Amino acid sequence: MIRTLVSASALVAALSLSGAAMAQDAAASSTAAPTTTAPAVDPYLWLEEIEGERAMEWVEGQNDRSLGVLQGDPRYQGLYDQALALVEAQDRIPMPGLVRTSAGEVIDNFWQDAEHVRGIWRTTSVDSYLTDAPQWETILDIDALAEAEGKNWVYKGASCLAPDNRRCLVFLSDGGKDAVVTREFDRDTRQFVETGFNLPESKGGATWVDENTLLISQDFGPDTLTDSGYPLTVRRLMRGQAPSEAVELFRGEKADVASSAYTLRDADGVVQAVLIDRSVGFYDAETHLLEGDETRQLPLPSKVQIEALLDGLLVFTTNEDWTAPNGQQFATGDLIAWNLEGLKTAPDTTPLELILRPGEREAIESVSATRNRLVVAMTENVRGGVYSYSRGDDGAWTRQRLALPENVTVGIGSASDLDDRVFVTAANYLTPSTLYLADAASLDLAEAKSLPEKFDAEGLTIQQFEAASKDGTRIPYFVVHREAMPMDGSSPTLLYGYGGFQSSLLPGYSATVGKLWLERGGVYVVANTRGGGEFGPRWHQAALQENRQRAHEDFQAVAEDVIRRGVTSQPHLGIMGGSQGGLFMGAMLTQRPDLINAAVIQVPLFDMLRFHKLLAGASWIAEYGNPDIPEERAWIEEYSPYQRLSAEADYPEVFIHTSTKDDRVHPGHARKAAARMIEQGHEVLFYENTDGGHAAGANLRETARRLALEYTYLTRRLMDEPAQD
């Protein structure tokens, strides 16, 4: 995709009462857990001081206690060893990036293993990549760089200047934060450019216009940041200038999410337009065309996702019903093409072309372009397919389906701008990922790499069911389990959910879930609740703002359904989710603790009356509402987990973890939740990683530790008999 909201990349990544009668009893008594009135003044505000002395002393004490419990469990070390072996394995698929250089097309890859825990950016030829033993050359070694500079560098990617991609901007984060420093790098000499572009740490971004010009969105002081903490200006920086000398070209409003710039280039790397994205809200944006030093707004939908530029056509999706300037009408979720020159010069008379209108149970997951074709990954009832679209001389679009396996999740990888080759992936919960090199024109498909089996899937099966939510909506979910599983409620079951930001939970192969849970007799359940994107924008929008509780009810309905079916029962049902999914876990904990016996609450949102005042939180008002507006505060207060915590409620012991370096979801959410529960007399395990950012892992060893802690906790709660509080 070309346009991604600054904050949306965040949300990124990338993972029960016995019998029907008892489930019916639980449903009949589904009133929310008792609540206590929150103190007029929050006594734990001091835990929002991210690196405050008192707060860090509290964190250290909780870490010592919780690590003592979990790492002291005799099963921890075995789980850690298995997790470390999985994340450091050499036989993972090195995901390819097709890159055109002056010497021809090559494959780039970022790789981490036991010797390169921070990772290396490396390259090889396409022919070499397709062999069993590619000959890699290192472009940049992040471990060596961190050691040489005495920094805790985490690689956040690179942006190279087309068409030869020699000059690159490398983004480096201190400990995994979203904020990065930006440095110019020469991929031919494998050196940073001594007198090149060098931007200080900031959230935001930078994009190439030409080799001597960048458009930057940076922190130039409080008056240049939005309430969400992202840049509100776009500036032109010329080679040789200090960042402070960059000329301001565009300024948004303080209440916006962010402003940023990007270039639309044709297949040969020639700039066809320079666009500025003014993200007014998380889902609403203005698209401005930059011409010289002047900007003007283009008449695109406010809820737009620009996907590709193909043969002079701007390809985009609209997440709202929309009437074009010429009167053509389009529906939410449509994939549309508009002649770029016509859009710029005569939008009122230039016709638009409908490429695709997904059905009710379909969604567009991703769109990419080769030199001549449009490639679209779709889900159809949460199962994937990839289609190649071509445009006839009459402007009509036709499609052909790639012959990928059925009943899998598919993904589009890197696409060539020299021809119509594109990498695609296919996997499901039990089938390891396979990487194919496809030709979008001929539909030829060749297996390039495959992941070997990482756990014993013999005797395991996948089923898809539906649960009826409180309002009657059918909520699909997947269950991965032993075919011979007894339906007596005795199976330890982990229910995973997210339910927000139009993020889809699709069947994928997880070596860690398989090895650390399924292989040991656990059942894995994934809920496709409203708020996600499994059925397109409307599925997401059904749980926005005042309707957020619908998503919580969907998740609770899935929990009730697996109990009703006898898959599991309350003593053996645990839940897991992170970020927005952490809010999901908090809502389940405070509304239906009677359904669960464990909760892994990862880097969560929890205090929803203050989320908009903490770090990037203001950018999510479009998702949740604004607590400063009384009517909206009332919706939020109904489910905000922090305010609903009660000393009288019967909560299971929970495991909450977060990261000090997370500059997206404030660690104060997790800290305050744990502190208040402890004060109320509940059992809480709390762990805070002092590095790692929102992804909670600056290196592979920390990732392995987090996984081992989680599955040790789940083993104690759900597999041991009985679980001890």
Indicate which residues carry an active-site annotation: 579, 694
394 CB-near residues (< 8 Å, 6+ apart):
none
Q: Under a CB-based contact definition with an 8 Å cutoff, are residues 110 and 92 in contact? A: no
Q: Please state, in angstroms and rounded to a whole number, the distance separating the CA atoms of residues 149 and 153.
A: 9
The residues that bridge with 276 in the sheet, in sequence order, are 261, 288
Strand partners of residue 250: 234
Under 8 Å between Cβ of 636 and 605? no
- Parallel/antiparallel/unpaired status of strands 97-101 and 654-659: unpaired
What are phi and psi for residue 548, nearest 5 degrees? -60, -35
User: How many Å apart are CA 355 and CA 307, to the nearest integer?
Assistant: 12
Side chain identity at residue 595, one-letter code: L
Phi-psi region of 194 (alpha: psi -120 to 50; beta: other; left: phi over 0): alpha
CB count in 10 Å sphere of residue 143: 16
Nearest to 596 by CA among 448, 699, 493: 493
Q: How many residues does the chain have?
A: 725
> Contact at 8 Å (CB) between 601 and 577?
yes
**Residue 657 token pair:** 């973890």
Structure tokens at 641: 């987990």
Rounded Cα distance, 45 and 42, in Å: 6
- Which ranges constitute the DSSP H helices of 258-397? 340-345
In sequence order, the β-bridge partners of residue 105 are 100
User: 3-class SS at 360?
Assistant: coil
* Tokens, residue 516: 């650390």
Give Cα 18 distance to the centre of its chain: 35
What residues pair up with 447 in beta bridges, in sequence order?
436
* Whole-Å CA distances, 155 to 120, 174, 177, 315, 629: 9, 9, 10, 30, 39
Q: Is-contact 581 499, C-beta < 8 A?
A: yes
Exposure class string for 12-48: b at 16+ Cβ within 10 A, else e:
eeebbbbbeebbeebeeebeebebeebeeebebebbb
d(CA 254, CA 223): 8
Question: What are the C-alpha distances in Å from 217 to residues 34, 47, 237, 639?
Answer: 47, 31, 10, 36
**CB-based contact 602:498 (threshold 8 Å):** no
- Cα(233)–Cα(252) distance, rounded to whole angstroms? 6
Distance CA 222, CA 473 (A): 45
Instruction: Write phi, then psi, for 282 (nearest 5 degrees).
Output: -65, -30
CA-closest candidate to residue 304, choices 8, 619, 624: 8
Cross-strand partners of 654: 684
Q: Sheet harboring 137-141: ordered strands across?
A: 97-101, 104-111, 120-125, 137-141
